[in-house]
Amino acid sequence: MSWRKEQRRAERGYHHGNLKEALLQAALDLIAQKGAAGFTFADAARMAGVSPAAPYRHFRDRDELLSSIAQRGFEQFEAALAQAWDDGRPDTVTAFERVGKAYLAFAREEPSFYSAMFESGLPSDANPALMAAGERAFAVIRAAAERLAALAPPGVPRPPAMMMALHIWSMSHGVASLFARGDAARRKLPMSPDELLEAEVLIYLRGLGFATDGRAQDGKGQADEKPAGPWGKPK
């Protein structure tokens, strides 16, 4: 059978109705099975049930397919972080803790997207739309860090807000990569990933002189006088 006939037969048997979405889903399934670097463009076509030539209608190559997945992942990531931050309500420290939990939850619940975003080896500047999506997601963390930096006691030296955002992002990413994944690569530890990240961030903030044992820290009054619980938080 000629290649042309083979292609026509494959396309006649294609019933998804949306080839681009079918290829994206096929690639996500392959990432879950083999990792972001473990499949070929032809594998994605086969998984989607189309001919090897069909994906070229929508994607230049495998890297462009991965880039589209990573971009979509960052868009969902940004939405999750922004919802958790909620413009710092009801107070900065509480909202900031939610951002950390949302970071870990995304890595745990969307491991294929997370792998495409951070483990695919794609140059971050190869796709302007991907780069912009990543910057928007990081901007949520930076906004939270800027709000935290504003709470620093007068006269206490602290790093710039941008550096704080990078430090906290690095901590979140490290915990997510090692412990919060939803696949077999997840490491075992005697506490939850959320507890581990919370402890790291509190130690970091205390090292910078921030008060972390209360919630009324936004210039709206004194911190609540409550007994300290685990990690110095009020019970």
Residues 5, 105 share a domain: no
Helix axes 19-34, 111-118, angle to 10 degrees: 90
Q: Are 160 and 218 found together in one domain?
A: yes
DSSP classification of residue 231 = G
Residue 122 structural domain: 66-232
Domains contained in the chain, number: 2
pLDDT tens digits, 12-28:
444 456 899 999 999 99
Same domain, yes or no: 23 and 72: no
Say yes or no: 7 and 115 in one domain. Answer: no
Query: Where residue 1 sits, what CATH number does that domain have?
Result: 1.10.10
pLDDT tens digit sequence for 185-209: 667 778 899 999 999 998 998 888 8
DSSP class of 234: B
Confidence at residue 175, expressed as pLDDT on a 0 to 100 scale = 93
Tokens (6 digits) for 230: 């685990």
Instruction: Single out the residue in 59, 76, 91 at which a domain terminates.
Output: 59
Residue 92 and residue 55 share a domain? no
Least confident of 10-24, 74-88, 156-170: 10-24
End residue of a domain, out of 59, 86, 103: 59
